[in-house]
Structure 1
Amino acid sequence: MTDDDLTLRAIGRDLAEELRRHSLDVHEGRESAETVVASLPPEFWCLGMRPDRNPRPLERDGKRPPVRSCREFTALMEELCRGDAGLALAMPFSSMSALLMEQMLSEEQLEAHYARMADRPTWTFFALTEPERGSDAGAITTSLEPGEDAAILDGVKRYIGNGVRAYCGMVFARNTAASGMFAVQPVLVSADAPGFSAERLDTAGLKGAALSEIRLDGVEIPNAGESDAGPSGLRGAMQTFDTFRPCVGAMALGAGVAVYEYVEGELRHRTRRAWQDRFAHRIGATRGLIAEAATAIDAGRGDGSVSSAAKLSAVRLADELAAAAVAALGPAARLEHPLIDKWDNDIRGIEFMEGTSDIQRQTIAQGWIAGRLPIAGAAR
């Protein structure tokens, strides 16, 4: 690891300790994630901002580690999820929309957005997933009907992180005046636009993420006509998923490591050694696979296969750790150790982010057949 990597992980561990303090209170509804985030130093709101735009850079030991590459972001998210995965997703910099916003917004819009982020906790959303359709970008039914002065947006999005607290976000819709891959395009939507509404969903885990249902009823989108499909659409959605998939793997690993370390601290010497022998090597190997996937993306070599292998491996390991924790701590583990119960629910929620394990296996198989996946046993 580089010095920046070590510094970034140290920052993540410090923040994770603070998130852990609020973990059960947020999960059980005694405290809101928004209150937790607002109580943090403002530097943490801005962690994901471009260094040249960040007026509140976070320093540690005289260093300002960047959080711009996929590898940097995965390292940070793993550490944060050792504290609390739901609250990690509640951090303003964690939204998938950031990548698309930088590609699509004007310089003036970006300046206003970054100024707002530096001033107060500011959330955005990435709205692709739909009821009955999931995150299949090619099958979405949300429509964008071009007009003379504005396009009209209609549809429903579900399981959208930060939907109820975001001030704006990217909504994927099917442009009725276009066809093929350019028919699907993301548009910027303000949460205060007439016809926009969002409702928080009741979930078993990841409470801090504020997963929401968004309804779009005749929302007017200025200047979003047929010629505005741009470089995004289906390709933009897939690029965003491929970029963030190792980060989801890092989230699963972080939650799994939280379980591992908690159980390790509860066991006696002999059983602790058996626990370490069973899982320590796999944790290190999974961390290495996630780093390899992130490095490939940063180098422009990410095709989805290695990212899928990283996410699948991390979720499988985290799920096994949660199950093994109950076996190690006894039949009353979920009652006597409420964090174990919470982490298990969080891990099951991460399984559905960026595609379920079955979808990841399909991507891995395609990469293997095409000779793009040189990692033996990655699809087990």
Structure 2
Amino acid sequence: MKYSPKRRSLHGRIKAALNSDIFGGSLVLGATILALILANSPLAPAYQALRDFRLGIPQLHLSLSVGQWASDGLLTIFFFVVGLELKEEFVIGRLRNPRTALLPITAACGGVLMPALLYVLVNHSGGQEALQGWATPTATDIAFSVALLALVGRRLPTALRVFLLTLAVVDDFIAIIIIAAVYTEEVNLVWLALAFIPLIIFAFLLRRGIHAWWILLPLALLTWGLTHASDIHPTIAGAALGFTVPIVVTTPSYSATKEMTQYFIRRWSPISTLVAVPVFAFFSAGVTIGGFSGLGEALRDPVALGIIIGLVLGKPLGILSTTFLLTHIPSLELAPALRWRHLIGMSFVAGIGFTVSLLVSELSFGVGSTVGSHATIGVLAGSLLAGLIGAAILAPQRH
């Protein structure tokens, strides 16, 4: 059957909508709202039973709950895509030119340090358990922040989106380092060494131009499983796999080249956006609030308060202060189209932590504990408040 141009055009529009930033962000938001509704309704026991139901092979240390499969398994796809995007940015993208990238890179560092500092100040007397969540408010959620910018900023300069994307990419890179360095208590070096074997084979085959899924997928799963066995958070395996993908390779016949990172981004980014992150959000955001009294109790917890302050105040203060200082250095300046109003609004949008913040919260406090639930509420409340303030600042001005 032949498709008419009209049908092809409709198919193209549907595909573009499914891959859009706004649709991806809306899907994650819907999954979050549904999780909160279920966790605070008569269906809460069924929701919790599903989240805690264990699947896997105990003999291989892979007996995980459904919620853990979402955070340790599906979220690995998200970090694989992040690794691919980081590889492109550092090799051929915005981060290749140090002078161009210096402002957003430094802004990202400030946007990590200031929230962490404010969190520690709020929780300095809360003991070791509270302090271990210091990294929770340091993240920026690419999907949500870019979706919000696309929603409210149709007339905003392109340079602002580039600045936010660069900042968020560097932020994710820092998050990968934090997860690997801070939230790994004891590493089994034997399993870790074994994980490098399928990883190296994976990289070698790609450099030979081989990208058959039935060869590469088992190697990726083996890398993930061995990384999990080493007690390093397995999402790091996803980032490592992404880093190994070459930008361009020459086929074995040496007659043509293939864009490998783009090939994998096109195939795995929709799975990350439409499946992995929404499912993770569904199982991570479902906390029992307990009505207004429970919400009030959670928001009075210094852990939740520190996360909210870190996301809503720490992110903007860190991003804006470092950017302001650097722009006073000769030869460093903002893109001509950018105004400080744009940067202020964008800095609040960067306070949408969500995906990585929820993951770091789980790594810090576990799932099901009171402090863990309060931390999740802090992430949701802080991300919502930061996003609303950023949207209000960036919304088209009426004259």
Structure with more of its chain in strand, by fraction: 1
Structure with more of its chain in helix, by fraction: 2
Same fold (TM over 0.5): no
TM-score for the superposition, normalised by structure 1: 0.28
